Structure 1
Amino acid sequence: MRRVLPLVLVLSACGGPASGPRITGQPEPNPTVAVTTSPSSPAARPTLGQAPGDLRAVDWRQATLPAAFCHVGDPVRLRSGTARATSELWGTVEVFLDVDVHYGDVDGDGREEAAISLGCDNTGGTASSQLAFAFVVVRSVNGALELVGEISATTMRDDAPHVPLLAEPRFEKGAITVKELWYRPSDATCCPTAASLTRWSLRDGTLKPDPSVQVS
């Protein structure tokens, strides 16, 4: 898949992250990435088409998914893992399925939800053209795919050479914890050398980031 390559290269090209300069403080809240969550009212949740009870059977490369993390107002229909869309912030963008999909039960109903890794770029096709990444969390309800919430980066250094990446979502009842991989000023776009953990709690039917962040 063409759009899988940028993040795969980012995470693997270094072989192993080298130690960078000592961090003198936590990254600042990211002003360009909106925290996006699902509406608290079940009636207001967008439905995204038909879905089997077992989400592992979904072909996510052809799915319809929201992309609010890229400031795209309407859900996008992926075709072979990509979709062109108009971002209210960046203009013409390409939304792409990135790397893999993770499964776990966050709402405690005994059925798995899916966290789909998505990215968007300015259609340049390089690491420097990447604009944002997110996990879109969805579930199957009465045969329909329904949005639970979007998990996006919550921190970013002003002097970072690249937007933060997201990895390793860990599901538990009532929460998903994700690793935010972010960049020191000296890092190449292939290799972020710093990380923070953000816990997103399911409160009133909405995924919200907890204020505590662990930085390494």
Structure 2
Amino acid sequence: MRRVLPLVLALAACTGPEPGPKITGQPEPNQTASATTPPASSAAAGPTLGPAPEDLRSVDWRQATLPAGFCHVGKPVRLSDGTARATSELWGSVEVFLDVDVHYGDVDGDGREEAAISLGCDNGGGTASSQLAFGFAVVRSARGALEVVGEITPTTMRDDATHVPLLSEPKFEKGAITVKELWYRPSDANCCPSGASLTRWWLRDGALKADPPVQVS
């Protein structure tokens, strides 16, 4: 598989980035992450992606069908050896790729694991400047099918950022998933985002919905 960690790809970049859609505003400084009382989680059925085993750890994610809304692709994509060509409503022809790791935990409280699959998309250039977006597709096995719980996307991006934000370290708890967002200040090189925020995504009414991000660096 030709894909490597986003930061490794970034080290090879020597041109300016082609940032994705920008979110107005920037993180508030000196905030401290705080706990919120979780709402009741929902196990409402989501869109299905095909048959699935009870144990998601046995799925070959490099060949899976997964949602790619984080890249503005309207339909799920079928990966082949970890990549797929698709049409983005924002960027046109893109490549969606399995990125880094798959993480497991029980977010809906049914005693079975869900999976958060790290995905990225780019314009096919193969460098950091060609990267367009990153996200997590969260899925579960339900009634013999692979079912979409939701997608996790960056909530923090400065208008003057030099690169699109990265996502890492999803932490599962009952009713929520917390992710770390690594974002760029205007002086940051493509290799090295200096900003970090934590965003908690709650499972509400059968969908994942984000709290405001909390800046940690």
Does TM-score exceed 0.5, indicating one fold? yes
Q: Secondary structure at the match of 1:117?
A: strand
Aligned to 1:7: 6
Aligned to 1:205: 206
The alpha carbon displacement at 1:126 in A equals 0.7
Please tell me whether the aligned partners of residues 43 and 108 of structure 2 are also in contact (alpha carbons under 8 angstroms).
no
Gaps of 5+ in 1: 14-24, 29-39
Is the aligned partner of 1:96 residue 2:92? no
Aligned to 2:72: 71
State the distance in 1 between where 2:154 and 2:207 align. Answer: 17
* Mapping 1:184-199, distance limit 5 Å: 184-199=185-200
State the distance in 2 between where 1:183 and 1:212 align. Answer: 15
The one-letter amino acid paired with 2:64 is A
Report the structure, 1 or 2, having the larger strand content: 1
State the distance in 1 between where 2:114 and 2:153 align. Answer: 17
State the distance in 1 between where 2:85 and 2:95 align. Answer: 5
The alpha carbon displacement at 1:27 in A equals 3.5
Is the aligned partner of 1:147 residue 2:140? no
The alpha carbon displacement at 1:26 in A equals 3.7
Q: Secondary structure at the match of 2:161?
A: coil
Please tell me whether the aligned partners of residues 11 and 128 of structure 2 are also in contact (alpha carbons under 8 angstroms).
no
Q: Secondary structure at the match of 2:53?
A: coil
Gaps of 5+ in 2: 13-24, 29-41
When the two structures are superposed, what TM-score results if normalisation uses the length of structure 2? 0.83
State the distance in 1 between where 2:137 and 2:154 align. Answer: 12
**Percent of paired sites with the same residue:** 81
Aligned to 1:124: 125
Q: Give the direction of change, closer, same or farther, for the CA distance of 1:178–1:11 in structure 2 (3 Å limit).
A: farther
Q: Deviations over 1:151-170 (max 9, x none)?
A: 00011011111000000000
Q: Deviations over 1:157-196 (max 9, x none)?
A: 1111100000000000000000000011111111111100
The alpha carbon displacement at 1:70 in A equals 0.4
Q: Give the direction of change, closer, same or farther, for the CA distance of 1:122–1:11 in structure 2 (3 Å limit).
A: closer
Q: Secondary structure at the match of 1:61?
A: helix
Q: Secondary structure at the match of 1:156?
A: coil
Aligned to 2:52: 51
The alpha carbon displacement at 1:211 in A equals 2.2
Aligned residue pair count: 192
Aligned to 1:105: 106
The one-letter amino acid paired with 2:72 is H
Aligned to 2:16: none
State the distance in 1 between where 2:170 and 2:190 align. Answer: 22
Aligned to 1:115: 116
The alpha carbon displacement at 1:10 in A equals 5.7
State the distance in 2 between where 1:211 and 1:203 align. Answer: 15
Aligned to 1:33: none
Q: Secondary structure at the match of 2:163?
A: coil
The one-letter amino acid paired with 1:72 is V
When the two structures are superposed, what TM-score results if normalisation uses the length of structure 1? 0.84
- Alpha-carbon RMSD across the aligned residues, in angstroms, is 2.0
* Mapping 1:128-139, distance limit 5 Å: 128-139=129-140
